[in-house]
Structure 1
Amino acid sequence: MTWNVYLSGEIHTDWREQIIKGCEAKDLNIVFTSAVTDHDSSDAAGDGLGAESNNFWRDHKSAKVNAIRIQKLIKQCDMAVIRFGDQYKQWNAAFDAGYCAALDKPYITLHSEEIVHPLKEVDASAKAWATSPDQIVEILDYLLNQK
């Protein structure tokens, strides 16, 4: 069985790589997808539509272009992992969680205990809450290998 897992959220740590390497070590048959994680490239996604003197409109265009990719990948995934880091507010990740919930796509949140309260509604719709990439790998191993 091959699974398609969408990795959403925080881009400033190597959590994605930890999950991917952990799944490779267990020889799990998973295709991982994600939004563009290079911050500068993501911010410039709409620049081909014309220069903007106001950053609001530049961000607006780029968000819409990025949404094309994100929505397609979430619709295609079997489940998503949505990471919320402690340093920055990942509003986009919260939006991805809501999109998953609206599509009835299962998702697992990944975040520290310190931000449980602000994420209570996001976690309430999640199928699980993990605090480490290793926990995500264990869940994926279970989902793919248990009979």
Structure 2
Amino acid sequence: MLNVYLSGEIHTDWRDQIENGAADLDVHFTAPVTDHGASDDCGVAILGGEDSKFWHDHKGAKLNAIRTRQAIEEADIVVVRFGDKYKQWNAAFDAGYAAALGTSLIILQPEEHDHALKEVDAAALAVARTPEQVVHILRYVLEGKLPK
């Protein structure tokens, strides 16, 4: 079984597209918490409130990092999606962490991000434009089959 961590933007259904496209493959997917409110507020919901937004966010980031680090460390492949609408600073961090661990890295991004992400792309083993291309990569890795 291949363990794949799906990191990055949470505002589109790209994860569902990959999971559905790879449903017939021996792949286990993990991902960050994609409920934006839960992700932002987990620290104060579990550990108690904060007067400062900085410390509110700090608590949440640390709890999310527990999940993220474990998932990246257990992954055979990390797919990092950089979307159109927001700058995903956390996704860049995840890509760097995976690269530092020597984990295979696939970047999923639109062409207009090529210049801004050139260093991230240089660390990746593949830069895909669509979720379908990521599925084709996974199929090739597992089965050695090219798309029809």
The question of a shared fold, defined as TM-score above 0.5 by the shorter chain, is answered with yes
Cα RMSD, aligned residues only: 0.9
| Residue 81 (structure 1) aligns with | 79
Aligned pairs for 1:92-131 (under 5 A) are 92-131=90-129
Q: CA deviation at 1:122?
A: 0.4
| Residue 15 (structure 1) aligns with | 14
Runs of 4+ in 1 over 4 A off after TM superposition: none
What CA distance in whole angstroms lies between the structure 2 residues aligned with 1:146 and 1:113?
A: 27
**May I ask how many residue pairs the two structures share in their alignment?**
144
Q: CA deviation at 1:29?
A: 0.6
Secondary structure of residue in 2 paired with 1:107: strand
What CA distance in whole angstroms lies between the structure 1 residues aligned with 2:118 and 2:126?
A: 12
| Residue 35 (structure 2) aligns with | 38
What CA distance in whole angstroms lies between the structure 1 residues aligned with 2:128 and 2:43?
A: 34
Identical counterparts, % of pairs:
59
Match of 2:140 among 131, 139, 142: 142
Q: CA deviation at 1:53?
A: 1.4
Residue ranges of structure 2 left out of the alignment (5+ in a row): none
What CA distance in whole angstroms lies between the structure 2 residues aligned with 1:28 and 1:12?
A: 25
What CA distance in whole angstroms lies between the structure 2 residues aligned with 1:41 and 1:64?
A: 13
| Residue 68 (structure 1) aligns with | 66
- What is the identity, as a one-letter code, of the residue corresponding to 2:18? I
Q: CA deviation at 1:138?
A: 0.4
Q: CA deviation at 1:126?
A: 0.3
Match of 1:29 among 22, 26, 31: 26
Secondary structure of residue in 2 paired with 1:87: coil
Q: CA deviation at 1:42?
A: 0.3
TM-score normalised by L of structure 1: 0.96
What CA distance in whole angstroms lies between the structure 2 residues aligned with 1:50 and 1:28?
A: 42
Secondary structure of residue in 2 paired with 1:5: strand
- CA deviation vs aligned residue, 1:6-49 (integer Å, no higher than 9, x gap): 0000000000000000001xx10100001111000101110122
What CA distance in whole angstroms lies between the structure 2 residues aligned with 1:140 and 1:9?
A: 18
